[in-house]
Amino acid sequence: MPYNPALVAPMRAEVTRLGVKELTSAAEVDAALGDQKGSMLVFVNSVCGCAAGNARPALALALKHAVVPQQIVTVFAGQDLEAAARARQYFGEYQPSSPSMALLRDGDVVHFVHRHQIEGRSPQAIASDLTAAFDKFCGAAV
């Protein structure tokens, strides 16, 4: 059951204030991810402080990098249930976890950061892995 929206609002804002587009319905997810071209990061937000408390600051750090995905969107697992479930349908064989991050290129997942790769790690370490993926998959020469 979703948490009180008022409780979750700061966690949404921590991501959307970065300029990340929030997708709250399956239709919005399909519009963004269906026939997706170029590079896109999907940030699966989560209430859980054990991991999401580091994932959101990591995203903020990573988005300061010189190379970033062309599009960055977010869905909120456990809150916007329909949107999160639909987004996961685009992640192929990668199992659902939250928080998590999927980097797509032309509709294919080219890099995935699972919850277990976030847990217990510093935002700086997580961001470093993310920016390495940005350099590899989002550069002009790809």
Partner 1 sequence: MSGHVFHPGHAELHGITVVVETHGSRTYVGRYDMEDSQGVHLLDVGVHEPKASMSKEEFIRKSAKFGVQSEHKHVIVPADRVARITRLGEVVGS
Residue 7 CA to residue 47 CA, distance in Å, equals 9
Residue 20 CA to residue 75 CA, distance in Å, equals 10
For residue 138, indicate whether it is catalytic.
Answer: no
> Which of positions 47-86 make contact with partner 1 (CB under 8 A)?
47-54, 56-57, 60
- Contact window for partner 1 (CB under 8 A) among 25-33, 36-44, 68-76, 107-115: 107-115
- Contact window for partner 1 (CB under 8 A) among 25-33, 37-45, 69-77, 114-122: 114-122
Please say whether the beta carbons of 92 and 104 come within 8 A.
Answer: no
Which of the residues 47, 48, 60, 61 is marked catalytic? 48
* 111 part of the interface to partner 1, by CB under 8 A: no
- The smaller minimum CB distance to partner 1, of residues 57 and 107, is found at 57
